[in-house]
Amino acid sequence: MNDTLNTSPPPPLLLTIPEACEALRVSRWQIYRMINDGRLKTVRIDRRRFVTPDDLQDLIKELREGGTDVR
C-alpha cells in the first residue's frame, strides 16, 4: 500500500493576520493590539504581516502562565 496518498500537506510556515485571528478566536483589533504591545511577534514581507505558528503558541503559553488578559 502506498502511504504517500494518505499524507496531508504540511502546515503553513506563516499565517496571515485573519488566519491568526481565527486560530486564537479573537478580533483583528485584538491581534494588532498584541502586536503593538510587543506580545505577538510578526514577520513582514513587503507590506504584508504574518505570524508564525510558534509565536502563536508562545503567546498562548504566556497567557496560560499568568500573563495579562487579552482585551
Q: Which domains does the chain have, with CATH numbers?
A: 11-64 (1.10.10)
C-alpha cell at 71: 482585551
3, pLDDT greater than 60: no
pLDDT tens, residue by residue, 11-63: 889 999 999 999 999 999 999 999 999 999 999 999 999 999 999 999 999 98
- Alpha-carbon dihedral of residues 54, 59, 63, 64, nearest 10 degrees? 0
Question: pLDDT higher for 31 or 68?
Answer: 31
Residue 4 pLDDT level (bands cut at 50, 70, 90): low
Neighbours of 52 (CB within 10 A): 16
Residue 71 pLDDT level (bands cut at 50, 70, 90): low
